[in-house]
Amino acid sequence: MNIVLAGAGAFGSKHLDSLKLIDGVQVVSIADFETDKARAVADKYGVPHVSADLGECLAQPGVDAVILCTPTQVHAVQAIQCMKAGKHVQVEIPLADSFEDAQAVLRVQQETGLVCMVGHTRRFNPSHQWIHNKIKSGELNIQQMDVQTYFFRRKNINALGEPRSWTDHLLWHHAAHTVDLFQYQTGERVVAANAMQGPIHPELNIAMDMSIQLKTESGKICTLSLSFNNDGPLGTFFRYICDNGTYMARYDDLVNGHEEAIDVSNVDVSINGIELQDREFIAAIREKREPNASVAKVIPCYQILHKLEQSLAQS
């Protein structure tokens, strides 16, 4: 299977590391407007073609699918471009920064029948898979999720500490992980959602602090705190308060309420959530089926984000 990677930044490299572990897959082209940086990445990973033009990359012989690790603001239009060119596509989170754009991607996926998957990695992290499996088997029932998403990002830099050409967003990116995961883990729709945000940054023009509350049909609740002002520890920390135990997930690691480690090494074929996400994308294409985290499955998350954005605009 021949893959185009669009975006040679921090997350693009994570996908390149993962794809080289999957049999029968090769990256044949990298699209990035910073072609010098892209060529350096291509040389490192043995990718033969680089272009600033995504269309040129899609037109390379034998291309089957695309992974988009580009700025949020172009995710929707590029996903549509890929599908209209007949290519399966995985879009890194978030799918879009508006519900209207997210719906447009879903419409094109339905029209083309191609695989369109979104990088909601929390569905694939072994820590969250372990919880999900316990819920499916009836061993656990979530009462509350308490989630903290904390970074120190007062300047516009990426995960590698390099300047960004676009602005990240607490609501449309970081909250999307938790809003989707909460509905996925509970198996219920969110029926009530509230949000508050702190002051808008004078240069970045985004809120640096945000608080979100969610409630499902049966009364399960989620409290999410997000900040770009937090100076460590960094990352997202999920506390699952259940009827039969408390668990804390930190990316691919899991501990119980007493900080005792839980072995998640046998949950899946890898303990790397990004690799498992890419394996699902490839498998769905090969097996001609809808993937976990398909655009259709995650669209309820973006509807909630839209409602939260509207409420913040009115407050």
Q: What's the CATH number where 128 sits? A: 3.30.360.10
pTM of the model: 0.94
* Same structural domain, 179 and 310: yes
Say if residue 161 is in the same domain as residue 278: no
Residue 163 clears pLDDT 80, i.e. is over it: no
Report the distance separating Cα 141 and Cα 130, nearest Å.
Answer: 13
Q: Mapping DSSP to helix (H, G, I), strand (E, B) and coil, where does residue 158 land?
A: coil
Q: Is the pLDDT of residue 258 over 90?
A: yes
pLDDT band at 156 (very low <50, low <70, confident <90, very high): low
For residues 126 and 216, membership in a common domain is answered with yes
**Residues 172, 96 share a domain:** no
Same domain, 129 and 115: no
**Same domain, yes or no, for 113 and 211?**
no
CATH of the domain at 88: 3.40.50.720
Are residues 70 and 148 located together in one domain of the fold? no
Length of the chain, in residues:
315
Please tell me the predicted confidence (pLDDT) of residue 36: 95
Q: Do 131 and 264 reside in the same domain of the chain?
A: yes
**154 and 139 within one domain:** yes
The conformation of residue 267, written as its DSSP 8-state character, comes to: S
Predicted confidence at residue 125, as pLDDT, reads 97
Q: Return the structure tokens found at 74.
A: 């172009």
Among residues 139, 145, 231, the alpha carbon closest in space to that of 183 is found at 145
Tokens representing 251 are: 């990316």
Q: Which domain holds residue 149?
A: 122-268+300-314
Same domain, 48 and 196: no
User: Is residue 30 domain-shared with residue 164, that is, in the same domain?
Assistant: no
Average pLDDT over residues 92-117: 98
Count: domains in the chain:
2
Q: Are residues 128 and 77 in the same domain?
A: no
Question: How far is Cα 295 from Cα 117, in angstroms, rounded to an integer?
Answer: 5
Confidence of residue 152 (pLDDT cuts 50, 70, 90): confident
Rounded-to-integer distance, Cα 272 and Cα 18, Å = 8
Torsion of the alpha carbons at 150, 239, 102 and 271, rounded to the nearest 10: 90
The pLDDT of 23-31, averaged and rounded, is: 98
